[in-house]
Structure 1
Amino acid sequence: MCTTETAEEKEQRRKQQKKIASKRSRMKIKMEREKLIDSLESLDDEKAALREELHDRTIECEKIEKENNALLAELIEEYGEETIMNLLNAQSTDSVAGGGQGSKNS
């Protein structure tokens, strides 16, 4: 005996397939959303680490700048401001003329 699908059975099968497809689509969207949330959290962590590193480097830079200023003050006291300024100007002129590498006698 050959069975044929009634219109109601076809409709039920179609609804079931649609329901499965919708569930699959929602699951895919949920997975993508979770992946984006994980990525966002990771980027937030990275941003926080970079901000902390920037803060540390800024403090280090300020410390070195203070040391440089103290050394410059010592040099000025020892050799005089004019002598030190002439040396610094000559050094910056050599750096520009030498492509930023300073002058080297070979």
Structure 2
Amino acid sequence: MIVAHSLIRASECYYIAIAAVVKSGPHTNIAFELEKVCTQTAQRLSLLSEPLAPKFFDKALFRGFIQKLRERRIVWIDTNGKLDSDTALEDMARDVRVILAREMRHSILKTTRSEQ
């Protein structure tokens, strides 16, 4: 149960990043802005639901995930320095239904705001 709970928490954090990119659309965020949006969203969710450990809204967690998405060419930096994404990111956002509860997905989507 402890391992499963940790994996779900990590999946929630990763979904925050995915949702922020999908919600704001291509060519809108710079990577450090996305980190900020993700961190703020995780902090808000922590206040609204059960408290999250501080490590779950650490910018380094989101930075690492965004970097991994860049390495896999799911997101990349366009010629204007903004993030662009592949359709695989939208597929990931849809596939998260298997892992996260509907209420959590909706809370993340409602709480996530885009930096534009």
TM range (shorter): under 0.3
> Greater Rg, structure 1 or structure 2?
1
Q: Which has the higher relative contact order, 1 or 2, with Cα contacts under 8 A spaced 6 or more apart?
A: 2
Query: Which structure is higher in strand share?
Result: 2
Q: By percentage of residues, which structure has more helix? A: 1
